[in-house]
Amino acid sequence: MKPNSPYKILLATDGSSTAHAATDFLMGLPLRERTEITVMTVLKTLLHDEDMAELDEAQRTLYEQIRSESVADAQQLLDTEAQRLQAVGSETRTLIQVGHAAEEIVREATEGKYDIVVVGSHGSHNPEHFLLGGTSDRVFEYSPCSVLIVKPASDEAVSDQHLRIFLAYDDSPPARAAAELLASLPLPQDTRVQAVTALPLIKMFRQDVRQQLNWVWKQKKAAAQKALERLQTEVNWHNAEISTELIEADDVARLLLDKAGEFQSDLMVIGHKGKSTFERFLLGSVTAQVAHHAPCSILAVRTCD
């Protein structure tokens, strides 16, 4: 983001309860001054051009009537969501696109040079999600900028009123960008930030025994510890209270998710390296696993390439 340019947020909504929750979540977030929020919805393509050509006059009129009604409904939805955001002081605009939801959101994020895309997640238990992959997963995977996936609030209410943020930190450029972004927000008084670095062990054939003895591993561990100390001392966390932890684990994604659950996080923040499809297939992505299974809303911060 350029220093003096406004902070641009793209909020995608489809009128569902999770999309509504995404707006609620955004309204509760401590946003920077000069933040512009574009509230967007995507209408499904009902008929393609070649199908339209086959319609007679009456059918065409009926189709256009249906389409204009759905556009009006969509506009009403967007206006309602925009008004809610304006009520908490945000500057908003609305946008309707037609096509495939994830594709259109990613296209708008790319062309509009947004800083963050916000989407609600329907959860991985949804049968449609199982078959087609969720819109939030696709947006997460292909978006050129940071993505905030808002998940429905857990039934287990958090005991205190403090905002609890879990930062998965590996000292990579995206992780540093995530920490800087978090620290730059006007976080409420007594916000609790838990920063965790997880070093991956190779447990199969008990290679972890040799791995932990290797001097390279010791160096990596010392560097990770120092990075956490820097995060605690060199970053100005203003009102937030930060604690750090360095852990070693076989399944890093699982452990981060467990730790975030134990911390009763309201939000997980993680750096997203943005691997290519080939790299994701071959090397996997901890960020993608964490984003998919996160027990709370998650912000994946991606740096510009």
Partner 1 sequence: MENSIWRWMADESVLQNLMAEQSTVVLLIIIVVCIAMLSKGADWMIDGVVDLASRTGLPKIVIGATVVSLGTTLPEAFVSVMAAYMGNPGLALGNGVGSIIADTGLIFGLSCILVAVPVNRFILNRTGWVQFGSATLLVVISVGALLIADDGEQPMLPRWVGFLFLSLLVAYMYMTYRWARSGGETGNGEMAIPSEDELMSLSRAWVMVIGGLLLVVLGARVLVPAASEIAIRLSVPEDVIAATMVAFGTSLPELMTAIAAVRKGHPEITVGNIVGADVLNVLFVIGAAAAAAPLEIPANFYYFHFPAMLIILLSFRIFISMNQGVFHRWQGFWLLGVYLIYIILQYALNIGAAH
Residues that bind partner 1 (CB under 8 A): 200-202, 204-207, 209-218, 220, 252, 282-284
Element (H, E) at 295: none
| Closest approach of partner 1 to the CB of residue 228, in Å | 17
Q: What is the largest CA-CA distance in the chain?
A: 78
| Closest approach of partner 1 to the CB of residue 73, in Å | 46
Q: Output 21 or 199, the one with its CB closest to partner 1.
A: 199
| Closest approach of partner 1 to the CB of residue 211, in Å | 5
Q: Output 157 or 204, the one with its CB closest to partner 1.
A: 204
| Closest approach of partner 1 to the CB of residue 284, in Å | 6
| Closest approach of partner 1 to the CB of residue 199, in Å | 9
| Closest approach of partner 1 to the CB of residue 261, in Å | 18
Sheet holding 267-272, edge to edge: 91-98, 35-43, 7-12, 116-120, 146-150, 297-302, 267-272, 164-168, 192-200, 241-249
Residues in the chain: 305
Q: Output 244 or 289, the one with its CB closest to partner 1.
A: 289
Q: Output 54 or 278, the one with its CB closest to partner 1.
A: 278
Element (H, E) at 74: helix 57-87
Kindly give the interhelix angle for 57-87 and 17-28, rounded to the nearest 10 degrees.
Answer: 30
Specify the long-range contacts of residues 15-20, CB closer than 8 Å, at least 24 apart.
15/41, 15/77, 16/120, 16/122, 17/152, 18/120, 18/121, 18/122, 18/123, 18/150, 18/151, 18/152, 19/119, 19/120, 20/81, 20/120
Q: Output 109 or 178, the one with its CB closest to partner 1.
A: 178
Element (H, E) at 41: strand 35-43
Q: Output 120 or 174, the one with its CB closest to partner 1.
A: 174
Rounded (5°) CA angle 229-185-231: 5
| Closest approach of partner 1 to the CB of residue 288, in Å | 13
> How is residue 168 written in tokens?
């998965």
CA torsion sign for 113, 92, 266, 136 is negative
Q: Output 160 or 215, the one with its CB closest to partner 1.
A: 215
